[in-house]
Amino acid sequence: MPGALSTSPFATRRLRRTTALLAVAWLLSTGPFVADAAAADAAAADAAADAAAPAAGYPPLGTEVMVLDLEALAEEAERELAEREAIRQRYREAPRGPAVDTPSRPSVPAIALRPAEPIEPPPVTRLRIMLDWTPSPRHAALIVARERGLFASRGLAVTLSTPADPDVPTKLLAASRIDLALARQPLLHLEVDRGQPLVRVATLVAMPLSALVVREDSEITAAVDLAGARIGHVDADSRDVLLRALLREASVRDDEVKTEELHFRLGDALREGRVEGVIGAMRHLLPRQLADEGLATRVLTSEALGIPLHDGLVLLANRDHLGAQREAIRRLVEALEEAAAWIANHPDEAWTLIASAEPGLDTPVGREAWPQVRPRLSLSPAALDHGRYRRFEEYLHDAGILEERHPVARLAVDPGAPAP
């Protein structure tokens, strides 16, 4: 066939040249003299083949012929051999087969049997916490933990609510209407003595914050002066624990003091002169608030009046549900501890965050209260001082406020400790 005769010599020469170039590349690695000899032999063989080829297979006269650069081709062949050897070496050194960049045949799934399963979000535990009062600097750990995402990072969705009445939180908690409630330690002792299933699981404020706040124009300077006075109270523990303890210390009978339930209307009652003093008021808030309104007051702290030191703000749980909620409460308290540590390390940033989250606190009263409350925040909310709780229980029992003594284990627990 004419076509085959005209093209066959070119294909034959191309195959011989490729074979010769590969041989030259191999021989170059063995030494220059052998390579030169091999190149000469290859050229001679190529010339002999050309002479033996039919004349019809040559290109016409006057055609430009490209002279190959054998040295450049040999260098290129060397580079290819070196690259392949490097790839094989990475393959041999790989601990579990070929490395990521090792050439391999791409793997393509033959068929999709069904859609990919949707990614389910991690389970979230919801906890409802009722404050003891309107938001205040003493609630700093809760606010910071919420705003910095410390609850969410532990799988918790925490809701904070404000009570309409300061006596409501413990009642709702006992009735299982909420998960947790804030209160002062004296109220815990009183409610447990009344048979309520409440237990302390964390301490937010480790020092008392309540006090007896009296008008400066009154004659009350000590507990003994309460006889014949009219005293307002904030909530049940202010009247039934703090006030009764003060009267017993001063040998004043209960019927010698007139009391009035005020709830959130403390300032109004003092300004209007309906009462001479208020028991259970927050010492860092009410006096400054009244001073801004032109009413001077005196503050008689609970410890100055002879009441033993106790926790100023505790987190209470329902003992009947503690077993099921223990793990969630442990994570909650862990978040509060991280928040308290961050507050201690960044007090100014903490106040900026709190004021941004609760704009109602960003007032002259709130800004002045912050440095007073901050040192009293508990850095270890889960830590339980058994001796303090036992001493306070005995004090209240000896004062006739409690009918019986209760063991500390009935009053408070560390949620992170192994369950008994």
pLDDT higher than threshold 90 for residue 201: yes
- Report the pLDDT value the prediction gives residue 263, as an integer from 0 to 100: 76
How far, rounded to the nearest angstrom, does the alpha carbon of residue 304 sit from its chain's CA centroid? 39
Confidence of residue 1 (pLDDT cuts 50, 70, 90): very low
- Report the pLDDT value the prediction gives residue 31, as an integer from 0 to 100: 47
The mean per-residue pLDDT over the stretch 123-128 comes to 93
**Under the phi-then-psi rule, with left for phi > 0, alpha for psi from -120 to 50, and beta for the rest, what region is 343?**
alpha
Find where tokens 């404000």 sit.
Answer: 162
- Report the pLDDT value the prediction gives residue 167, as an integer from 0 to 100: 85
Pairing assessment for the beta strands 313-318 and 258-261 based on DSSP bridges: unpaired
C-alpha distance across the termini of the chain, in Å: 101
- Report the pLDDT value the prediction gives residue 165, as an integer from 0 to 100: 85
Q: In degrees to the nearest 10, what's the CA dihedral of 279, 285, 290, 296?
A: 70
Find where tokens 């009722």 sit.
Answer: 130
Alpha carbon distance 8, 28 (integer Å):
30
φ, ψ at 91 (rounded to 5°) = -65, -45
> Could you report the per-residue pLDDT of 232-279, keeping only the tens digit for each?
988 878 888 889 888 888 889 988 999 998 877 888 899 999 999 999
> Could you report the per-residue pLDDT of 276-313, keeping only the tens digit for each?
999 988 898 999 999 998 999 999 998 888 889 999 99
The mean per-residue pLDDT over the stretch 109-125 comes to 66
Pairing assessment for the beta strands 156-161 and 125-130 based on DSSP bridges: parallel
Here the tokens at position 169 are 């939180």
DSSP 238: I
> Could you report the per-residue pLDDT of 342-390, keeping only the tens digit for each?
999 999 999 999 999 999 999 999 999 999 999 999 999 999 999 999 9
Alpha carbon distance 242, 209 (integer Å):
12
pLDDT higher than threshold 50 for residue 41: yes
> Could you report the per-residue pLDDT of 98-116, keeping only the tens digit for each?
444 444 444 555 555 566 6
> Could you report the per-residue pLDDT of 44-97, keeping only the tens digit for each?
555 555 554 444 555 566 666 566 677 777 788 888 888 888 877 776 776 554
- Report the pLDDT value the prediction gives residue 15, as an integer from 0 to 100: 54
Q: Considering the entire predicted model, what is its pTM? A: 0.70
> Could you report the per-residue pLDDT of 2-34, keeping only the tens digit for each?
444 444 455 555 555 556 556 555 555 554 444
- Looking at the DSSP bridge assignments, the partners of residue 232 are 260, 278
Q: Is 9 helix (H, G, I), strand (E, B) or coil?
A: helix
DSSP 315: E
φ, ψ at 66 (rounded to 5°) = -85, 125
The mean per-residue pLDDT over the stretch 167-173 comes to 93
Other Cβ atoms less than 10 A from the Cβ of 232: the count is 26
- Report the pLDDT value the prediction gives residue 29, as an integer from 0 to 100: 52
253: Cβ–Cβ under 8 A, 6 or more apart, which residues? Answer: 247
The mean per-residue pLDDT over the stretch 124-138 comes to 95
- Report the pLDDT value the prediction gives residue 97, as an integer from 0 to 100: 46
Which has the minimum average pLDDT: 7-16, 194-203, 212-221? 7-16
Here the tokens at position 246 are 């003060």
Here the tokens at position 321 are 């549900």
φ, ψ at 368 (rounded to 5°) = -75, -30
Here the tokens at position 238 are 């202010």
117: Cβ–Cβ under 8 A, 6 or more apart, which residues? Answer: none
Find where tokens 């209160």 sit.
Answer: 183
Q: For the chain, how many helices (H) and strands (E)?
A: 15, 10
- Report the pLDDT value the prediction gives residue 304, as an integer from 0 to 100: 86
The mean per-residue pLDDT over the stretch 176-202 comes to 96
> Could you report the per-residue pLDDT of 385-404, keeping only the tens digit for each?
999 999 999 999 998 999 99
The closest of 163, 156, 182, 192 to 327, measured between CA atoms, is 156
> Could you report the per-residue pLDDT of 142-157, keeping only the tens digit for each?
999 999 999 999 999 9
